[in-house]
């Protein structure tokens, strides 16, 4: 047998072996999505064990719903919208890969400090503009102003989130604490942050919006 013939015989034998044991093809578009939650203490899971925080519970809920997503925690307690904007670029760089979705949850600390709603809107505007420039999908999560800040402040603050979501044509979830705010049994002793049961309610209510944003 010549060297050429031997080579052809070996290749034929290898092909027969591969056909006998076919490799299952990977479905198109099945890469596990990466979600980055950029926010403050509400995102960070302030006052709770890591296993009970918002991002961990959201990841678990997504996986239970059949979406093998990874949710990274980009929440820092005390952050204003300006501080979130300041760390946006290095936060994205730290992920190592481009996320499939960024959840933007900022502004609660601006409101608690009585910062002008226009300043909050400006910083969120810059965050959304940068994410749009990078072609990253966004879910804007809103906050509501406390009643003691007055009707004018509340009107300006509450309106900035839906306005920015419309401007950038992003998915929008109106109120992070929906279903939890004002219910003492779902809030920690500080009167501000959700407890474990409250987090589960928040995740359950927000899950459809996150799933829609990932689609």
- Domain ranges, ordered by start, for the chain: 32-214
Instruction: Give me the pLDDT at residue 19, please.
Output: 31
Q: Provide the mean pLDDT of the chain.
A: 89
Instruction: Please report where in the chains the tokens 């990274």 appear, as a residue.
Output: 72
Question: Could you give the strand order of the β-sheet that contains 138-141, starting from the edge strand earlier in sequence?
Answer: 70-75, 34-39, 101-105, 138-141, 171-173
Q: pTM for the complete prediction?
A: 0.85
Rounded Cα distance, 158 and 181, in Å? 15
Distances (CA, A) of 185 to 49, 113, 176: 18, 25, 17
Report whether pLDDT(18) > 80.
Answer: no
Which residues is 138 bridged to in the sheet? 102
pLDDT digits (tens, 9 = 90+) for 38-78: 999 999 999 999 999 999 999 999 999 999 999 999 999 99
Per-residue pLDDT band for 2 (boundaries 50, 70, 90) equals very low
Catalytic positions = 41, 190, 193
Smallest CA-to-CA distance from 55 within 66, 65, 41, 173 is with 41
Residue 167, C-beta contacts closer than 8 angstroms, at least 6 positions apart: 125, 128
Per-residue pLDDT band for 31 (boundaries 50, 70, 90) equals confident
Per-residue pLDDT band for 127 (boundaries 50, 70, 90) equals very high
> Residue range 108-129: average pLDDT?
98
> Residue range 93-121: average pLDDT?
98
Cβ atoms of residues 32 and 59 within 8 Å: no
Choose the CATH number for 32-214 among 3.30.750.24, 3.40.50.1110, 3.40.50.2300, 3.30.870.10. 3.40.50.1110
Instruction: Give me the pLDDT at residue 60, please.
Output: 98
Smallest CA-to-CA distance from 177 within 79, 49, 80, 54 is with 54
Q: What angle do CA 37, 45, 192 make, to 5 degrees?
A: 115
Instruction: Give me the pLDDT at residue 29, please.
Output: 47
Distances (CA, A) of 40 to 104, 143, 208: 10, 12, 22
Rounded Cα distance, 77 and 192, in Å? 12
Per-residue pLDDT band for 30 (boundaries 50, 70, 90) equals low
């Amino acid at each position: 047998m010549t060297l050429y013939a031997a080579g052809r015989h070996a290749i034929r034998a290898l092909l027969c072996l591969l056909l006998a044991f076919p490799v299952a093809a990977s479905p198109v578009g099945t890469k596990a999505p990466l979600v980055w939650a950029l926010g403050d203490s509400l995102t960070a899971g302030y006052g709770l064990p890591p296993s009970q925080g918002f991002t961990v519970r959201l990841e678990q809920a997504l996986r239970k719903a059949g979406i093998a997503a990874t949710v990274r925690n980009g929440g820092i307690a005390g952050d204003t919208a300006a501080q979130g904007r300041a760390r946006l670029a290095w936060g994205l760089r730290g992920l190592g890969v481009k996320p499939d979705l960024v959840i933007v949850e900022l502004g609660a600390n601006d409101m608690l400090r009585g910062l002008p709603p226009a300043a909050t809107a400006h910083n969120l505007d810059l965050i959304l503009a940068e994410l749009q420039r990078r072609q990253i999908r966004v879910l804007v999560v809103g906050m509501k102003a406390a009643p003691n800040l007055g009707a004018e402040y509340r009107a300006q603050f509450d309106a900035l989130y839906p306005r920015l979501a419309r401007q950038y044509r992003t998915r929008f979830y109106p109120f992070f604490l929906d279903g939890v705010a004002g219910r003492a049994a779902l809030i920690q002793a500080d009167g501000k942050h959700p407890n474990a049961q409250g987090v589960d309610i928040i995740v359950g209510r927000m899950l459809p919006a996150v799933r829609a944003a990932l689609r």
